[in-house]
Structure 1
Amino acid sequence: MTRSKVLVVTGTGTEIGKTVTTAAVAAAAVRAGRSVAVLKPAQTGVAPGEPGDADEVVRLAGGAVTPVELGRYPEPLAPGTAARRAGLAPVRPGQIAEAAEKLAASHDLVLVEGAGGLLVHFDAEGATLADAARLLSAPVLVVARAGLGTLNSVQLTAEALRARGLAQAGVVIGSWPRRPGLAERCNVGDLPGVAGAPLLGAVPEGAGGLDAQAFRTRAAQWLAPGLGGSWDAAEFARQEG
């Protein structure tokens, strides 16, 4: 498993399985005896008192995971826009880095789950999750879609990471369909090339709907050894090809 104490999790867009993937990484780490915290810098589209993404990670991965949320905004918008419209202070990259470093002092692994993609704005000045990752010198895990169009999105994200001198841990397919089509099957082989980084897992479609015990038992099967699991990219490609 990655030995960095902080792992930043981003996506190539929204609704692609980023939170469930974060939960799977957390579950695998907890199962291996590691203490885990999940940091959600900016939660949007959730009212006060409602469970957010960090709470969902805890529900799926287990109560041993420490959840931290820095900012919450009611409208389902980019964090910077949502903060401005709500008249609330935005979350800054320095705050994210400070919170992650504090958690890393008392946990074996800190997962920082972004909102949407890598370059979504957190404030009016255009600060992004990439800025926080740079302050932390942390690797970035990219969660991607399985189907048509994902190669372009993954390559753009990879180029943005390289341009900023950030390390990409790898790519995880956030929702692998029960009946993959030709595009999905071909993408398994093509994703590492366009990413310039390994394919580190494929979370099955509907995994977030499993009961918590089943999720925790199976999570490591969806992730490669680099993320604490037993998933084998070559074997997966042979089975799905």
Structure 2
Amino acid sequence: MTVLVVTGTGTEIGKTIVTAAVAAAHRDRRVAVLKPAQTGLAPGEAGDAAEVARLAGRHVTAVELARFPEPLAPATAARRADLRPVRPHEIAEAAGKLATDHDLVLVEGAGGLLVRFDDDGATLADAAGLMAAPVLVVAPAGLGTLNATALTSEALRVRGLECLGVVVGSMPAGPDLAARCNLEDLPVAAGAPLLGVVPAGAGALTPTDFRSRAGSWLSPELGGSRPVA
């Protein structure tokens, strides 16, 4: 696995922190994180790719293809800013170039799998298809996550894309009944294994603590030591 696409069942559910954890778990390898479209930030502000590099370490190369100032879907944000959108072939080409001198390229999407990148309807799924890359799905812990995860996984299967597995992006320290049951039910909903559980607040750890703990949150498939569920 040279390129891994990281998507989510929605927005603000922990994709960046999960991406950072995977990067940190591969600290003995050359890792690149590619953010095709960063929205909601002004020039000069640290974006998701930079946050991954900050948490994961110096072995990470952070690349951002485009930035749009409003916190909207990439297609909408690009149109409103009168800027050129990012196309799937550009994502695939950038990932391919990074793969020539990195052992692992993590492509972090914006929002969910089918959020539009341009007004022609192109999505992260289209880019994943061009790259023939497996997709890691980040899901929330609580009530409602099973349906959203099942829909995302079904969309991947319909497109002939591999769902590598699911990671819970933010597990509360005191999970409720739904969150506890979902650890068992998420693999069923996804039709793919549960490959990690990242604790809530992980992004607030110091980079040193984050790097030392990241492997314990993830399964061996993602470079960690947590048993696969």
Query: What TM-score comes out, normalization by structure 1 length?
Result: 0.94
Gaps of 5+ in 1: 235-241
| CA positional deviation for 1:137 | 0.2
> How many residue pairs align between the two structures?
229
Q: Which of 183, 186, 189 in structure 1 is aligned with 2:184?
A: 189
Match of 1:136 in 2: 131
**What does residue 26 of structure 1 align with?**
23
Residue 196 of structure 1 and its aligned partner are, at CA, apart by 0.4
Q: CA deviation at 1:215?
A: 0.2
Structural mapping, 1:14-93, within 5 Å? 14-30=11-27, 33-93=28-88
Structure 1 runs of 4+ aligned residues shifted over 6 Å read none
Residues 125-158 of structure 1: CA deviation (Å, up to 9, x unaligned):
0100000000000000000000000000000000
**2:153 is matched with which residue?**
158
Q: Distance in 1 between matches of 2:126 and 2:216?
A: 32
> What is the correspondence of 1:141-220 to structure 2 with a 5 Å cutoff?
141-220=136-215
Partner of 1:49, secondary structure, is: coil
CA distance in 2, matches of 1:64, 1:36: 6
Pairwise CA RMSD: 0.6
SS at match of 2:26: helix
Q: CA deviation at 1:104?
A: 0.3
> What SS does structure 1 have at the residue aligned with 2:138?
strand
Tell me if structure 1 keeps the 8 A contact 2:142–2:182: yes
Q: How far does the alpha carbon of each residue in 1:162-212 deviate from its partner, in whole angstroms, 9 at most, with x for none? A: 000000110000001000010001101101011000000000000000000
Deviation at 1:232, TM superposition (A): 1.7
How many angstroms apart in 2 are the aligned matches of 1:93 and 1:228? 27
1:38-84, CA deviations, whole angstroms, 9 ceiling, x for partnerless residues?
00000000100000000000000012200110000000000000000
Amino acid of the structure 2 residue aligned with 1:12: T
Matches of 1:231 and 1:216 in 2, distance apart?
15
Contact 2:29/2:59 (8 A) holds in 1? no
Alignment of 1:89-108 (within 5 A): 89-108=84-103
Q: Specify the code of the residue in structure 2 equivalent to 1:208.
A: G
Give 1:97 shift. Answer: 0.0
Query: Residues of 2 paired with 1:190 and 1:60: CA distance?
Result: 30
Q: Which amino acid aligns with 2:199?
A: P
For 2:78, give the aligned amino acid.
Answer: A
* Counterpart in the other structure of 1:123: 118
Is the 8 Å Cα contact of residues 134 and 164 (structure 2) preserved in structure 1? Answer: yes
Q: Structure 2 counterpart of 1:147, which letter?
A: G
Q: State the Cα distance separating 1:233 from its structure 2 match.
A: 4.1
Q: Unpaired segments of 5 or more residues in structure 2?
A: none
Residue 237 of structure 1 is matched in structure 2 by: none
